[in-house]
Chains A and B, each alone.
Chain A
Amino acid sequence: MTRSTMTFRRYLVLAVITLTASCGDTFLSRGMKSLGPVSLAHPGALIHAIFSPWVATGIILLIGFFASYLTALSWADLTYVLPASSLGYVIMTLLAKFWLHEHVSPLRWLGVVFITAGVGFVTRGPSWTDHSHRPPPAHDEELAAEVRP
């Protein structure tokens, strides 16, 4: 059985996953660059890094990402959620270029086109496929009917 259980609110959850993941990773990178290379001989430096402002903000964003990611996994397949939220890599590339001033070559822009095409492919298909041991997740209107007294 395959079906789409997507509603506007669920697409919004995918958008939150996309934004928080890309911004969170960029903040982590910015923080770790300012702290300098961590030696394997001193792994405690990684714990120290958690309390630096950039890394801490990155972690807060990634906690938001994780909460929305878990919500999405409760009503959609992993192989749907991952590609559908991959526009985050495009945002990450833009942030790396314009904020962290990393070089972005024409091949990277081609990569952006491929990712966008991949997102287009998967979001046009069903979000949920056959799982014999549990029923498919509800649409919002079914959910409303379920909890209505």
Chain B
Amino acid sequence: MSHPQAILATVAMIASIVLSATAGDILTASAMRQIGDLDLIRAKSGLFGAAAAVVTNGRFGLGVVCLALSFFSLLFAFSHRDLSLIGPAATSLTFVTNALAAKFFLRENVDHRRWTAAIFVCVGVALLAF
């Protein structure tokens, strides 16, 4: 896989997975925050009530579209490259982009502990590619 075109193709495959997965994660997390505690909703309205609250949320629908895009990009990448390369590389980068996006879009308090955890997991997942 040392040919420049092959490297570029791998980078493009990983980038499409990371970008669509980050958009999907942020949109679904934001939707779940908008909907509220599912345990509480299920206790009040039952399982179908909880499911209805989720699937009728527009932001959730948009998130699912992004996650579906990420899923097909992942399938495509798996058909060309090893699981042990695509899996770790795509997911480790998604950790960093998700932490940044959660801080700026979801206003989560990403403190030192969470940054340290994200960096440790990111480095660890990247090492899995070797």
Which residues of A line the B interface, CB within 8 A? 2, 25-26, 28-29, 32-33, 35-38, 46, 49, 55, 62, 66, 70-71, 73-75, 77-80, 82-83, 86, 89, 92-93, 96, 100, 102-105, 107-108, 110-119, 121-122, 124-125, 129-132, 134, 137-138, 140, 143, 146-147
Q: Is the interface of A mostly helix, strand, loop or mixed?
A: helix
Q: In the complex the two chains form, is A70's CB within 8 Å of B38's CB?
A: yes
Interchain CA distance A124-B39 in the complex, whole Å: 23
Q: Which of B71-123 contact A (CB under 8 A)?
A: 71-72, 74-76, 78-80, 82-84, 87-88, 91, 95, 98-99, 102-103, 106-111, 113-114, 116-121, 123
Q: In the complex the two chains form, is A111's CB within 8 Å of B126's CB?
A: yes
Q: How far is the CB of B39 from chain A (nearest CB, A)?
A: 6
Having A117-B120, A117-B124, one finds 20 other A-B pairs with CB under 8 Å, namely A32-B75, A37-B79, A77-B106, A78-B26, A82-B25, A92-B87, A93-B84, A93-B128, A103-B84, A108-B128, A111-B123, A111-B125, A111-B127, A116-B124, A118-B119, A118-B121, A122-B114, A130-B109, A137-B36, A138-B39
Kindly name the residue among A25, A78, A100, A108 whose own CB sees the greatest number of chain B CB atoms within 10 A. A78
